[in-house]
Amino acid sequence: MIDLNESRPLPLYESVYRQLREEISTGQRKAGEKLPSKRTLASQLGISINTVETAYRQLESEGYVEARERSGFYVLPLSVLKQGTVRELQPDYVQHCPKPEIDFAVGAVDEALFPMGIWQRLTRASLNTAGILNRSEAQGDAGLRLEIARYLARARGVHCDPEQILLGPGTDYLMQVLSGLLPECCTFAVENPAYHKAYLHFSRMGHQVLPAKMDGKGVLIEPLEELDNIVVYTAPSHQYPLGFAMPMGRRTALLSWCSRGSFRYVIEDDYDSEFRYDARPLPSLQSIDHLDRVVYLGTMSGVISPSLRISYMILPPALLSSLRKQPVPYSCGISTLSQFTLREFMAQGYFEKHLNRMRVCYKNRRRELEELLRPYEKTLRVIGAQAGSYLLVQIKNGAGERTLCDTALEKGVGVYPISPYFIAEIPPEYRNTVLLGFGNLTSGQMRRGVALLAEAWNL
Amino acid sequence: MIDLNESRPLPLYESVYRQLREEISTGQRKAGEKLPSKRTLASQLGISINTVETAYRQLESEGYVEARERSGFYVLPLSVLKQGTVRELQPDYVQHCPKPEIDFAVGAVDEALFPMGIWQRLTRASLNTAGILNRSEAQGDAGLRLEIARYLARARGVHCDPEQILLGPGTDYLMQVLSGLLPECCTFAVENPAYHKAYLHFSRMGHQVLPAKMDGKGVLIEPLEELDNIVVYTAPSHQYPLGFAMPMGRRTALLSWCSRGSFRYVIEDDYDSEFRYDARPLPSLQSIDHLDRVVYLGTMSGVISPSLRISYMILPPALLSSLRKQPVPYSCGISTLSQFTLREFMAQGYFEKHLNRMRVCYKNRRRELEELLRPYEKTLRVIGAQAGSYLLVQIKNGAGERTLCDTALEKGVGVYPISPYFIAEIPPEYRNTVLLGFGNLTSGQMRRGVALLAEAWNL
């Protein structure tokens, strides 16, 4: 119960009520027993009848006693009342999955790289900013959206009004929102493989989803030629998880395909585009889209931290106006503190500094990991290394991905299967492929991890 | 563009690339113009041919130039490239709705009451806590869920395992999730009036929604008797927005109705239950539910701040296991920092202290507002004042709610219509009813606000 003592003295009726409730709960007063008449109890305790009345009514309202016409108050069987209690967590509950000793987790971010001191200072400052206890604008803090628009213009050639930007607590959330903006009749053509939750979200919202045919350059246009009311989901700067970039030719072909249909859109998921090493990242599809047919998706998860829960989506004007027409107004669902802090982090230039620092570090780690794997070239092939925070490796020891992951885990090493990313059946050439993330591993850990993998897979 | 200077010197190819891009963008090099041969430029600049090659390829990959077989590189028309730019926000955009001078906003929280010093300290501490950069457990931080379970057990008699608790960035989000867990075939019977977004979310997810018949005690059971596969949405501790509490008799009747059907659930929205003044809040429906048919919904918006974006939902075991079977795993979408900070705020006892302080303050404000309104009793009736952070007033000057709100706003006072809360047509007796929130108003503001309302409405 809430202890009211601290803020004001306990009212008389309250102590009477509490004492009687105690006696009923502990069974000192049995079900069916009649409580003393209000007059009797009042004179016994030397308090007013009204006070007793209030206490009895409180007990009644909480189901401890019932009032019987012209008779008085009677204790009810306790069974109708369930005392609030908390069952403690099962010890095995808190950590669902035991972490491997060395975890090549995909999407893990290196805490050591994070400029915590700066972030703490900006957080403190944000807590002192006016409006910190108000909700941000529905689509997200206007200032933060402006910073994101400026950053994307510089880094990705993106051209948008911050009013087109929706912030959300994760890309999944934004994909659900997007899915709700598109007509039921439209079909999603999803890269195969792809971020598999995209596929699940779209179909969950009642849309037809089909795997898009692909070659080494990305989605093939021809098979889509006859279709309309169609949305293509693609990750052109960094095919997920294969890692290659869609060349400019295919990009322009995709956009001109859009122009030939009445309702054709492209969802550009720009995840991991920040980490491209051999040359500057290609400008985004959105940046060369004259027809406003591209929806642009990005996230702060890989760049800052997955724990921040901030992603963004840029809607072309047509979809923005359908958003505005939705019966349930959009709400970005991100704490104002997180938004203010990130806004300042970007506005004061720390964001791009941090990004460059990470890029350099990841580039070195990737090279290091590649070098650690080189001795095993005969039985191990690395793909998709030109970008991103993970590698794909194919093992030619006859084992499939499941065995590869299990045998690795027996040695205490976490590597991850590729099959979940395939919407249709997994092509034979990928059956022996696993993902190795290097975002949060030291040189020592990578060295030890590779050595253990060599044992596990007898490389 | 990302400025790489800070972390490493600009590569040669980069400066060549940038200079040529500049010349193309500014039109110094026209479309169709041939770039100098790699050899020529290399010798002009005294750099290697490979460096020029890299720069040219970069320009090609970004669509500035094209390579023609055995001829060289040619400038492409700029039109195919859209430079990334940010259109500045329209000045009228940032604040959508002009705030009235005195705003009786519903759900506004008084920043002055918020223990910012404590919150700042706990935030700093949380930023130094291990795992701050990791995502929390999918349903939300286990420790925070335990604190919430303990608080709800004490304050609301709630009986649950923290594993039944889902955290989410808002009640709306959780209602969507819940809606997705229930079979398509089931119908929602929603209190009329009610929190209108509930109604919209349920119907948006493809469910049939009908307004539940009500009397002064809450939802009427008889009309539901014949129905099955039905979910009742109610706010028993504080009917929203009418403000009355469902008496114990109706609560038990509702639960026994559940027991008579194969698929009957009740969604208990406990919004504003924390603010009940005349007596302790009634224990929740969930606390007297032996059949696990109650879904319990609560939020930190009114108690701490809407800017925190933390709400919670307690699922009965059956629905919890359907959640676990969902193709898309649940993700709570709340920053780890917010969760850790709130966890400590609760664990260290500040939460209930703060709540008690707010309760006392709101109780006084409510009394004050009622007294300010008393002189106008002849033309103004106050209802729903026994709980919550707002009052309902009915004005007998012949005007409808629209006129009442507009005339008030002309005087610079914000009051809010009740009709949006009605799912079916609004009953005649409520046509002249508006909401006055007092959560974030000083005595002076309330006094001035009421005076202005008296003028606006000629009371």
Instruction: Give yes or no for residue B403 having a pLDDT over 60.
Output: yes
Of B84, B150, B204, the CB nearest to A327: B204
Which one-letter DSSP state was computed for residue B387? Answer: B
Instruction: Give yes or no for residue A420 having a pLDDT over 50.
Output: yes
Helix-strand-coil percent breakdown of chain B, rounded to 5? 40, 15, 40
Of B159, B201, B306, the CB nearest to A85: B159
Residue where the block lists tokens 């759900």 = B107
Burial status of residue A104 (CB atoms within 10 A of its CB: 0-12, 13-18, 19 or more): buried
Predicted local confidence at residue B80, as pLDDT? 42
Best to test chain A binding among B13, B207, B273, B307 (most A CBs inside 10 Å)? B307
Q: What distance in Å separates residue B212's CA from the closest CA in chain A?
A: 21
B206–A contact, CB cutoff 8 A: yes
- Per-residue pLDDT tens digits for B249-287: 899 999 999 999 999 999 999 988 888 776 666 789 999
Of B161, B282, B331, the CB nearest to A61: B282
Phi first, then psi: give them for residue B433, nearest 5 degrees.
-110, 135
B112–A contact, CB cutoff 8 A: no
- Per-residue pLDDT tens digits for B319-347: 998 998 888 889 999 999 999 999 999 99
Instruction: Give yes or no for residue B64 having a pLDDT over 80.
Output: no
In B326-365, the residues whose Cβ lies within 8 Å of chain A are 327-328, 331, 333-338, 352-353, 355-357, 359-360
- Per-residue pLDDT tens digits for A248-258: 889 999 999 99
Q: What distance in Å separates residue A291's CA from the closest CA in chain B?
A: 11
pLDDT-based confidence at A64, cuts 50/70/90?
A: confident
- Lowest model confidence (mean pLDDT) among A122-131, B365-374, B421-430: B421-430
Predicted local confidence at residue B10, as pLDDT? 67
Q: Give the up-direction half-sphere exposure of residue A366: CA atoms within 13 A in the CB hemisphere.
A: 23
How far apart are the C-alpha atoms of B207 and B201, rounded to whole Å? 9
Residues of A in contact with B109 (CB under 8 A): 133
Q: What is the mean pLDDT of residues B11-36?
A: 83
Q: What distance in Å separates residue B84's CA from the closest CA in chain A?
A: 4
> Which residues, in sequence order, are bridge partners of residue A264?
A230
Contact at CB, B337 and A338, closer than 8 angstroms: yes
Whether the CB-CB separation of A368 and A442 falls below 8 Å is answered with: no
Mean pLDDT of chain A: 87
Element (H, E) at A433: strand A433-437
- Per-residue pLDDT tens digits for B292-320: 999 999 999 988 988 999 999 999 999 99
Q: What is the mean pLDDT of residues B84-98?
A: 51
Q: What distance in Å separates residue A34's CA from the closest CA in chain B?
A: 20
Mean pLDDT of chain B: 87
**Structural Rg of chain B based on CA atoms:** 30
Cα B419 off chain centre by: 21
Whether the CB-CB separation of B330 and B166 falls below 8 Å is answered with: yes
A173–B contact, CB cutoff 8 A: yes
Task: Report the range out of A22-31, A413-422, B280-289 with the highest average pLDDT.
Answer: A413-422
pLDDT-based confidence at B450, cuts 50/70/90?
A: very high
- Lowest model confidence (mean pLDDT) among A403-412, B8-17, B377-386, B409-418: B8-17
Instruction: Give yes or no for residue B351 having a pLDDT over 90.
Output: yes
pLDDT-based confidence at A204, cuts 50/70/90?
A: confident
Predicted local confidence at residue A205, as pLDDT? 79
The vertex-B317 CA angle with B316 and B322, nearest 5°, equals: 100
Spatial CB neighbours of A375, under 8 Å, sequence gap ≥ 6: none
In B45-64, the residues whose Cβ lies within 8 Å of chain A are 54, 57-58, 60-63
Q: What is the mean pLDDT of residues A37-65?
A: 85
A366–B contact, CB cutoff 8 A: no
B99–A contact, CB cutoff 8 A: no
Instruction: Give yes or no for residue A99 having a pLDDT over 90.
Output: no
Q: Is the dihedral of CA A130, A136, A137, A142 positive or negative?
A: positive
Q: Which amino acid is at B50?
A: N
3-state SS class at B157: coil
Instruction: Give yes or no for residue B84 having a pLDDT over 70.
Output: no
- Per-residue pLDDT tens digits for B187-218: 999 999 998 888 888 888 788 999 999 998 99
Q: Which of B276, B275, B351 has its CA nearest to residue B122?
A: B351
Contact at CB, B159 and A200, closer than 8 angstroms: no
Q: What is the mean pLDDT of residues B106-126?
A: 91
Predicted local confidence at residue B1, as pLDDT? 28
Whether the CB-CB separation of B330 and A170 falls below 8 Å is answered with: no
In B414-453, the residues whose Cβ lies within 8 Å of chain A are none
Predicted local confidence at residue B163, as pLDDT? 92
Q: What is the mean pLDDT of residues B40-52?
A: 89
Q: For residue A429, count other CB atoms closer than 10 A to its CB.
A: 8
Of A6, A200, A328, the CB nearest to B200: A328
Residue B427 preceded by cis peptide, ω within 30: no
Contact at CB, A288 and B82, closer than 8 angstroms: yes
How far apart are the C-alpha atoms of B229 and B227, rounded to whole Å? 7
Residues of B in contact with A309 (CB under 8 A): 135, 169, 333-335
Whether the CB-CB separation of B203 and B238 falls below 8 Å is answered with: no
Q: Where are the beta strands (DSSP E) in B51-154?
A: 65-68, 72-75, 102-103
Q: For residue A67, count other CB atoms closer than 10 A to its CB.
A: 14
Whether the CB-CB separation of B209 and B202 falls below 8 Å is answered with: yes
Contact at CB, A159 and B124, closer than 8 angstroms: no
If one compares A123 and B92, the residue with the highest pLDDT of the two is A123
Contact at CB, B134 and A307, closer than 8 angstroms: yes
Residues of B in contact with A152 (CB under 8 A): 84
How far apart are the C-alpha atoms of B190 and B210, rounded to whole Å? 6
In B4-43, the residues whose Cβ lies within 8 Å of chain A are 4, 6-8, 14
Q: For residue B259, count other CB atoms closer than 10 A to its CB.
A: 11
Instruction: Give yes or no for residue B175 having a pLDDT over 70.
Output: yes
Residue where the block lists tokens 């007509």 = A183
Record the tokens describing residue B250, joined without a space.
Answer: 């109706």
How far apart are the C-alpha atoms of A393 and A243, rounded to whole Å? 12
Which one-letter DSSP state was computed for residue B301? Answer: T
Contact at CB, A248 and B62, closer than 8 angstroms: yes
If one compares B107 and A406, the residue with the highest pLDDT of the two is A406
Q: What is the mean pLDDT of residues B372-387?
A: 88
Q: What distance in Å separates residue B173's CA from the closest CA in chain A?
A: 8
Q: Which of B339, B328, B383 has its CA nearest to residue B143?
A: B339
- Per-residue pLDDT tens digits for A109-160: 888 889 999 999 999 999 999 888 888 999 999 999 999 999 998 888 898 9
Residues of B in contact with A94 (CB under 8 A): 137, 142
Percent over 70 (pLDDT), chain B: 92
β-bridge pairing A390-395 and B264-269: unpaired
Predicted local confidence at residue A95, as pLDDT? 40
Residues of B in contact with A9 (CB under 8 A): none
Best to test chain B binding among A195, A328, A332, A440 (most B CBs inside 10 Å)? A328
Q: What distance in Å separates residue A135's CA from the closest CA in chain B?
A: 4
